[in-house]
Chains A and B, each alone.
Chain A
Amino acid sequence: EAAVTQSPRSKVAVTGGKVTLSCHQTNNHDYMYWYRQDTGHGLRLIHYSYVADSTEKGDIPDGYKASRPSQENFSLILELASLSQTAVYFCASSEAGGTGQLYFGEGSKLTVL
């Protein structure tokens, strides 16, 4: 069965601190994504990647960096966390880009104080 795991599942960070959210998939998928969930906004794409060592900007990349060191791993990095980045973050993988089924992780709830 498809498996996407995220860590940490929950984190409290201070404003200006660095936060790294990690994602690991065992689906052998080329595509991986980071989405952010906010009430009233659904899921918004932050960064995505379709090959190791390469990342692409999504619709709301400002304030976020991404890293894809291997096919299995995709990280989202907040160098200077801000209050507005409090949200639930979902990682996903897919076999066939945006037109394939996305398999989501459990979500990471980030609270920036």
Chain B
Amino acid sequence: GQQVKQSSPSLTVQEGGISILNCDYENDMFDYFAWYKKYPDNSPTLLISVRSNVDKREDGRLTVFLNKSGKHFSLHITASQPEDTAVYLCAAALNQGGSAKLIFGEGTKLTVSS
């Protein structure tokens, strides 16, 4: 089964609003969580990541919230701008010695309308 899930395939937000992207995971041993951004015909790039020992991390307009008991994490983008329009991929990993691998969700297409 899908270990990392993004239940919303798409999201539309008005310019200036807050975009909230959600991700659920199954394995409560995951200890690393990340959000990647992907423009059409481009490769994914890392936006922000957190380890399981923190509940929240901010970086400019981006905030990641981690709810370990609910096996859920989210990305909040404040003051959303048209250039934020992209596909956002959440990902999680379990650090098992030297063979850690990152598992991605299906992606949420964010559209910021002006």
Residues on A close to B: CB < 8 A? 33, 35, 40-45, 48, 50, 56, 58-59, 90, 96-99, 101-102, 104-107
Looking at A58, A59, A99, the one whose CB has the most chain B CB atoms below 10 A away is A99
In the complex, what's the smallest C-beta–C-beta distance from B8 to chain A, in angstroms? 12
For B100, give its contact among A35, A58, A98, A105 (CB under 8 Å).
A98
Contacting residues, chain A, for B99 (C-beta < 8 A)? 48, 50, 56, 97
In the complex, what's the smallest C-beta–C-beta distance from A78 to chain B, in angstroms? 21
User: Dominant SS at the A interface?
Assistant: mixed
User: Within the assembled complex, what's the spacing in Å between the Cα atoms of A102 and B38?
Assistant: 13
Residues on B close to A: CB < 8 A? 6, 9, 31-32, 36, 41-46, 49, 51, 89, 93-95, 98-107
The reply to whether A97 and B43 form a contact with Cβ atoms under 8 Å apart is no
For B106, give its contact among A42, A58, A102 (CB under 8 Å).
A42
Pairs across A and B, CB under 8 Å, 6 listed: A40-B106, A42-B107, A43-B104, A56-B101, A98-B94, A102-B44
Contacting residues, chain B, for A96 (C-beta < 8 A)? 100
User: Within the assembled complex, what's the spacing in Å between the Cα atoms of A35 and B102?
Assistant: 10
Looking at A48, A58, A96, A97, the one whose CB has the most chain B CB atoms below 10 A away is A97
The reply to whether A102 and B46 form a contact with Cβ atoms under 8 Å apart is yes
Contacting residues, chain B, for A44 (C-beta < 8 A)? 104
Contacting residues, chain B, for A102 (C-beta < 8 A)? 36, 44, 46, 102
User: Within the assembled complex, what's the spacing in Å between the Cα atoms of A107 and B59?
Assistant: 28
The reply to whether A45 and B43 form a contact with Cβ atoms under 8 Å apart is no
User: Within the assembled complex, what's the spacing in Å between the Cα atoms of A72 and B77?
Assistant: 36
In the complex, what's the smallest C-beta–C-beta distance from A100 to chain B, in angstroms? 8
Contacting residues, chain B, for A101 (C-beta < 8 A)? 46, 49
